[in-house]
Amino acid sequence: MEASLLRLICSKISSRTRFFNLTLCNETVQQISRCSSTFNQTQSEKFRTAFRTEINDPRHHTLDHVGLYYQIPQEEVNGVLKTTIKESDMRLMKTFNEYCLMVRKPALELNGYIKNFNLNHPVPRFLLYGLKGAGKTCIMQYTMQHFHRENWIILHVPWAGRWVRGWYKEVSESSYKPGRYDTPTDGAEWLELFKTQNQGKLKNLKTTSEYIWTKREKAEIGTPLEEIINFGQTRIKFSSDCAGVILKELRKQAPLLGLKVLVAVGAVNAFYVQWDMLNALKNSEKKRLQPGEISLIHNFKKMLSPTWTHGVAVCTADVFANSELTRENYTPLYVLKQEGFEALDPFVPILVPEYTDKEALSNINYFIDHNWIQNDHGKTDEGKKEIIFVSNHNPLSLHKICSSL
Amino acid sequence: MAALRQYSPIVNDIHRTFLTSLSAIQFRHLRSSTGHRQTERNERELNDSDSFRVYEIEGLRKSKEEKKTRRVAPKPFAPRYRSMPVDQDWTNVWPSAATFKWATVPFPVRQGYIKSSAENEGVIPAKYGNLELMKGPNFLHLTPAHIKKHCAALKKFCTPWPEGLETDGKCRHHFPVESITSDYVFAAPSIRDERARFVTIKFYLSDLELDYHARDKFIRLVGTRYNKDTDEVTFESGRCPLKAQNLDFLKFVLTALYFESWKYESWEKLKELSDMERYFWDLNASRKKCTSLLRTIKSLDDSSESNSDKLNYLPPDVSDDEALCSLPEVNKYKVAIEEIFNEGENIDTINQYKNAVKTLLNINSDVV
């Protein structure tokens, strides 16, 4: 009886861990030896799943790695993923002394679309939508890391809602075009982010037309893009214009130089839906600005229209960038409103679902492994089931619940 | 005689007492008559001891033995339901509409509200003297047996059901307009009731011959009188004093509306995109964007050397908009986007849109 049971378990576990590395196999061997001791134990081992993979390169992840954690190196966290990771997640990662992200199915699906896409065609638009806390931003991070490793240039807006609101934020009329408004601090911030995320990729890029800032200052043809960035950072009055120049040059040069550009915009609905709360940006006449009147947004909207090639745009739809009265649903048309939908159309909507049982268990096991869950009941099968039930499979609420266990 | 002899000691006792009382009669004339027993007691006192007689003032002391005779109310009859046979004809018991009578209703029924378990011992009041049951209307005069009797009484006035109108569908086909009127009958000096003038007519919009424009205009003209879910239009009128006048008026309204909705006024050509009742892909910017995008892709495909990842479904000539839009891939996309706007977003319409866009732009993933 026991021998046949052992054989059964062995076959099951080996089929599950076929793709995992050696260390995991060792672990499962230990499991098997424990499993064989009593029947009751085998029941409880049913829920014991591996939660890590040693394949830390997103390019090599397959469907077999869904729900497993992989490690992100420190330099990428400070480089390409800078400011994309939420502050609370960052604190948790620092506590664990490692930067880990879960491989999820929509991320693999999205990366598959981008990999197979013919870049000679105009930019395709992908829209990640889902419930709050389902992991839209994390999937965007995953995609950014994946294509950063393939040497794509990354244009990233962490959360576009920041660009349309702010108490006492400086707003000045654009010197380039009247009726449009610059937000110098946002522009400089974005230039800094762009520089850090694309270290070492901008060396050979030079401007192809002349840009006149003032009567005395201008950028000649052939000015390196890095110089433009530095100019924007020192003269932040022109930071929005500099950002516009960079975007324009990349649109123009991507097909010529064979560059690959990934545009990643968080909460893209802020580009199209008017923010009408008190902290909305206003011009000198106290009139609320339309999103399209802000230079940065105007420039980024051009990146989202299929007028250029050799690029891909990935956006998230975050209903929390819209006003409080319209946050009942998370579907694309509801979040983007008709204007935004028509601007992005045709796009590929990708649903980011909440955790499956497997992913939720993997998350809990990861927390247990790092002693984040210290309550003894939380480590039992019953406790795990309870956590999953109480969090309703939502990653964010699972995180919140586990922080007090 | 034997029985008398057996009870002879008792008979003797009675006899003796009788004699004593006879001997006392001689004193009786001294006082006004009082109760027989009191006399007896006084006389006994007189005989027992040699004390004075006591003059008794009538009414001074209340005599205990005085008997009050009170009239006892006759007991009520047992409630009627107790004596009802099980197989009685209920229609005779409760022939017409009446207030609830507890004694006549042969089943237990409770009605009312108790504030707490302390009130009425926590039980909802039973039917006896229950005002709550009397307040509400009852249908004890409309049981199946009653209805059967009514029908039997009415049957002699009925004519056979017309042939060819066996089903509701056939009725609707032959009589598409349904008119509803009411008559009010009562005993009063005047038999007129002003409520009787109201007329309602109902019909299905699909029974009218209308094209898309006329139908849309008709719906806009009738406003809330059209029920979208049942496709039914309801007109009601009470503006004229007589029923026949109101009916004529409604017929006129229906005719006028029908012909009015077929008319095409000059100002209707000014209808803009925002006035549209539905999302039409052909009129929206989406079509223009889509065709121009496909043309761009075609020109890019033509100029590139490699053969892979091209949009193979595009014809060699893409200059004609109509030809482009009639391609199955584009048509699928059109249907999908129209459904998202017209039917609303749900997991089906969004997935349909996603798949349509994927085929339209040739976007594929190994992981699906």
pLDDT in tens, B54-64: 888 888 887 77
Residues whose CB falls within 8 Å of the CB of residue A276, separated by 6 or more in sequence, listed in order: A288, A323
Distance CA A128, CA A314 (A): 8
Q: State mean pLDDT over B206-216.
A: 92
Question: How high is the pLDDT of residue B17?
Answer: 53
Q: Residue A121 is nearest to which of B300, B353, B366, comparing CB atoms?
A: B300
Nearest CA of chain A to the CA of B347: how many Å?
Answer: 9
Question: How high is the pLDDT of residue A7?
Answer: 47
Collapsed DSSP state (helix, strand, coil) of residue A153 = strand
Q: Residue A346 is nearest to which of B290, B308, B345, comparing CB atoms?
A: B290
Question: Does B304 lie at the interface with A, CB-CB under 8 angstroms?
Answer: yes
pLDDT digits (tens, 9 = 90+) for B160-188: 999 999 999 999 999 999 999 999 988 88
Residues whose CB falls within 8 Å of the CB of residue A7, separated by 6 or more in sequence, listed in order: none
Question: How high is the pLDDT of residue B45?
Answer: 58
Is-contact A36 A6, C-beta < 8 A? yes
Task: Give backbone dihedrals phi and psi of A265, rounded to 5 degrees, phi first.
Answer: -120, 120
Residues whose CB falls within 8 Å of the CB of residue B169, separated by 6 or more in sequence, listed in order: none
Asked if the model's pLDDT at residue B26 lies above 60, the reply is no
Q: Residue A112 is nearest to which of B284, B362, B367, comparing CB atoms?
A: B367
Question: Does B342 lie at the interface with A, CB-CB under 8 angstroms?
Answer: no
Contact A118 B285 (CB under 8 A): no
User: Which of A64, A304, A308, A333 is the mutation pick for testing B, counting most B CBs within 10 A?
Assistant: A333
Contact B363 A348 (CB under 8 A): yes
Q: State mean pLDDT over B155-162.
A: 93
Question: How high is the pLDDT of residue A127?
Answer: 94
CB contacts of A309 in chain B (<8 Å) are: 300
pTM of the model: 0.70
3-state secondary structure B50-108: CCCCCCCCCCCCCCCCCCCCCCCCCCCCCCHHHHCCCCCCHHHHCCCCCCCCCCCCCCC
Nearest CA of chain A to the CA of B356: how many Å?
Answer: 9
Question: How high is the pLDDT of residue B48?
Answer: 62
* Chain-centroid distance, C-alpha B217: 37
Distance CA B39, CA B31 (A): 10
Nearest CA of chain B to the CA of A109: how many Å?
Answer: 5
Question: How high is the pLDDT of residue A324?
Answer: 87
pLDDT band at B310 (very low <50, low <70, confident <90, very high): confident
Q: Which residues of chain A have pLDDT under 70?
A: 1-49
CB contacts of B288 in chain A (<8 Å) are: none
Question: How high is the pLDDT of residue B36?
Answer: 58
Phi-psi region of A158 (alpha: psi -120 to 50; beta: other; left: phi over 0): alpha
CB contacts of A113 in chain B (<8 Å) are: 363-365
Q: What is the ipTM of this complex?
A: 0.84
Q: State mean pLDDT over B88-107.
A: 94
Asked if the model's pLDDT at residue B28 lies above 50, the reply is no
CB contacts of A120 in chain B (<8 Å) are: 300-301, 304, 309
Question: How high is the pLDDT of residue A192?
Answer: 93
pLDDT digits (tens, 9 = 90+) for B102-120: 999 999 999 999 999 999 9
Question: Does A170 lie at the interface with B, CB-CB under 8 angstroms?
Answer: no
pLDDT band at B13 (very low <50, low <70, confident <90, very high): low
CB contacts of A340 in chain B (<8 Å) are: none
Asked if the model's pLDDT at residue B246 lies above 90, the reply is yes
Distance CA B325, CA B336 (A): 14
Distance CA B136, CA A20 (A): 76
